[in-house]
Amino acid sequence: MTKIAVEQGLRPYHAALRDAGFVVVEFRGAEQLKADDTHAIVVSSADGNMGFGTTVMTPVITVTGRSPLEVVDEVRRSLGPRE
């Protein structure tokens, strides 16, 4: 089960990812990465480091300038083939 965390307020992206078959949860902050098995994070912009630090291995995708379907494609590309 591939879990994608989406920043609050990005409803069209949340819906597109859910429709594409991903489990979508609300992104609550960097501490979530330690507690959940989140495979990717979708945020509105890459301003600042959002508390990630430099050790985050989870792909972080920004929606700036992208449609919901483009973000779905980027999430798929960033995750690569999954079993």
More confident position, 54 or 11: 11
Q: Write down the residue that tokens 């990005």 correspond to.
A: 10
Residue span of the structural domain in which 20 resides: 3-79
CA–CA dist 61, 75 (Å, integer): 7
Q: 31-79, pLDDT tens digit by residue?
A: 666 656 788 999 998 664 455 554 567 888 999 999 999 999 999 999 9
Number of independent structural domains in the chain: 1
CA–CA dist 83, 69 (Å, integer): 22
Supply the pTM of this predicted model. Answer: 0.82
| Orientation of helix 11-19 relative to helix 68-79, angle to 10° | 60
CB contact set of 65 (below 8 Å; sequence gap of 6+):
none
Kindly report the CATH number assigned to the domain that includes residue 71.
3.40.50.280
More confident position, 6 or 45: 6
More confident position, 60 or 18: 18
